[in-house]
């Protein structure tokens, strides 16, 4: 005898998307200033607001470059680390374009 058909119940809620799923990796190791920041800027343009971009670089000057880039553009420098000469930056794309500065 076949088992009785199951009665469909409410579906369990779908899990919220993991931040890691909305993260892109950009490897610019071996490139010198200003290329790591320029390539990161280009990659960020193609991402939705709030998306994360992790950049791997080997140029020591990129530390100051990424700090200045985030300060000027409004993107967030979420994390920074260095290990074995490889610098890792995680940037979060700003939610919207920054307001234009008024002429003084």
In angstroms, rounded to a whole number, what is the distance separating the alpha carbons of residues 62 and 24?
Answer: 18
Which residue's structure tokens are 């343009």?
45
CA–CA distance, 90 with 40 (Å, rounded to integer): 10
Residue 70 annotated in active site = no
Q: Could you give the CA distance from residue 58 to residue 84 in angstroms, rounded to a whole number?
A: 9
* Of 39, 20, 36, residue with least CA distance to 78: 20
Cross-strand partners of 24? 53
Which of these is catalytic: 26, 31, 33, 38? 33
Catalogue the active-site residues.
33
């Amino acid at each position: 005898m076949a088992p009785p058909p199951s009665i469909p119940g409410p579906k369990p809620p779908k899990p919220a998307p993991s931040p890691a799923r909305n993260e892109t990796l950009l490897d610019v190791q071996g490139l010198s200033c200003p290329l790591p920041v320029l390539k990161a800027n280009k990659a960020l343009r193609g991402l939705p607001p709030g998306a994360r971009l992790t950049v791997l670089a080997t140029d020591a000057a990129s530390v100051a470059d990424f700090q200045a880039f985030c300060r000027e553009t409004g993107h967030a420098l979420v994390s920074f680390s260095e290990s074995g000469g490889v610098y890792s930056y995680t940037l979060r794309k700003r939610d919207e374009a920054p307001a234009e500065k008024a002429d003084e």
